[in-house]
Chain A
Amino acid sequence: MVQNQLQFGIEAAQKDLWDEAIFRWKKVIAHHPQSAAAHNNLAVAYEKKGWWEEAKKEYEIALKLNPDNSYIESNYEKFKKNQELSKKEKTKNEKN
């Protein structure tokens, strides 16, 4: 069931149906809160939505559950980098 829902969510995301993907991954987490993959995927979906706080929270849970997963780590590093870049842009915009 978990694998199916995770897979279904990924297929939805690939079709740009992010709300559907979020629904699937949340369902996985409801039944298996220890699924690092579901937390990671949900974090990516939240990033896509621009929900930064939620994305950060999900990445942190995913890494806590599976600290050695290089894909989660890579996603989280890119997320943090993106956040720093956005902050710099925001400061620049405010100065202008």
Chain B
Amino acid sequence: MKKIKFILLAAFFFLLSCATHYRWKIKLEIPGESALDLKPFQQIVITNFLIKKETRDIDLSKEIMDYFNFEIGQKYEGEISLKDISLKDEQVFEQDNFWKHLQDDAKKTLFFTGSAHYSEEVRKAILEKTRRRQYDEPFTSEKKLAERKFYTLQLDLYLIEAESGNPVYERSFKETQGYDNPNQTAYFAFFDLIQKVKEKFFRHLLGGERTEERYLIIE
């Protein structure tokens, strides 16, 4: 009986050693499911944006183009170029012939375009501040006029396939942010807002990343 047990045990360890795998547990950032697969497209052409109302101190269309030229370049491996086109109204995003005729070469192209609206608003409010009592000083309160600047950026983004002229992705983003600082400029606020838009846009378009564990093995 002891002999059999010994043989079984030896056989078990022999099989175990044969089946041994060297393995490495690694953590990796895995992208989530994207709304659109960019892989088939060889280039993205970023066009100027339709500006619903011109903004003082900032060339909105140029800033959006430059911003996304850099940011998309960080995520997309294909070619990216900029193109100035004539956008008359919102209807243009649905006109397939317009986009089909814009394609210059045989490369599979995606147009990144859209419309933008940027606004500034000053909101005023009377704030009542209670001061701490000191010694026998009577209870005092101060009324102050407070002003806050609010900026809102609305971007309607479209990704249009050049071959068919049809939008393959469209989504609206609206971001608002308030500032206590009365000297806050529209220019700097714009970058706070477009960064928020970018994060939501990329998360939606490319899918957010999540940390996962996997095994890499050697037999």
Contacts and interface: CB of A to CB of B under 8 A. Distances in A.
Given A69-B21, A71-B21, A90-B35, A41 B216 contact: yes
A39 to B, nearest CB: 10
A48 B29 contact: yes
A71 B31 contact: no
Contacts, number: 75
Interface size band for A: 20 to 34
Q: Which of B28, B30, B213 has the most CB of A within 10 A?
A: B30
B216 A82 contact: no
A63 interface: no
A44 B214 contact: yes
Contacts of B204: 93
Contacts of B210: 82
Top 4 A-B pairs, shortest CB-CB distance: A86-B33, A71-B215, A50-B31, A37-B219
Interface of B: 19, 21, 23-24, 26, 28-35, 204, 207-208, 210, 212-219
Interface of A: 3, 6-7, 9-10, 13-14, 35-37, 40-41, 44, 47-48, 50, 52, 66, 68-69, 71-72, 74-75, 78, 82-83, 85-87, 89-90, 93-94
9 contacts: A9-B216, A40-B215, A44-B216, A52-B33, A71-B215, A82-B30, A82-B210, A85-B32, A94-B35
